[in-house]
Every structure is written in C-alpha cells, then in structure tokens.
Amino acid sequence: MSDESDPVSEDETYGNKDLTFYNLAKADRRRCKVIVTEWVQKFKKTKGRDPQEADTMAIGKELEDYNTADQKYLKLKLKLIEANNLSFAPEDF
C-alpha cells in the first residue's frame, strides 16, 4: 500500500494496471498545470509582470497539488520505462 508522502511506493506492483495509473497521473498533472497556468496568465494581465515567489502564496495549494501530481507522474513513467512498457522519449517529460 502507498504511503501518502510517496505517491508510488517501491513495494507496490500494478500488474496490468500500469498504463491506466500512468494515464490517470498524466491527466491529473495536466489538470493541475492548467489551473496554475491560468492563474499566472491572469496575474500577468492584471499586474503587468511575472509573479514573484511572494505573489504565489495566493496559489500555494494549487502549486503543491501540481508538484505532487508531477512527482507521481514522473515516478510512474520511470517505472514503465524501466519495465520496458513505455518507450523513452525525452520530449515527453
């Protein structure tokens, strides 16, 4: 079973569900990225500048969600590549 701090623990085996978990993680990562990107674009439009670290406090939870989703996605992708179930294409990272 997964530990909450480690979205994909080393002792988990996914069997035939590898690609399903990967696609779900990829979709979640994309969803989180859209939220952050839209916030940044709105910030730039209203403030006329890129957000600084202090400005991102308003979207802290969303950034944390994105970072967690990104970490999970990359771990799953690496596991699939190592198991030769997914081809390695650097541009896909």
Tokens 């406090």 correspond to 57
What is the C-alpha separation between 22 and 40, in angstroms, rounded?
27
Delimit the domains of the chain by residue range. Answer: 25-84
- Picking from 22, 29, 37, 38, the residue whose alpha carbon sits closest to that of residue 75 is 22
For the whole model, what pTM was predicted?
0.71
| Inter-residue contact 91 to 23 (CB < 8 Å) | no
pLDDT tens-digit series, residues 4-49:
444 454 444 445 577 889 899 999 999 999 999 999 999 999 999 9
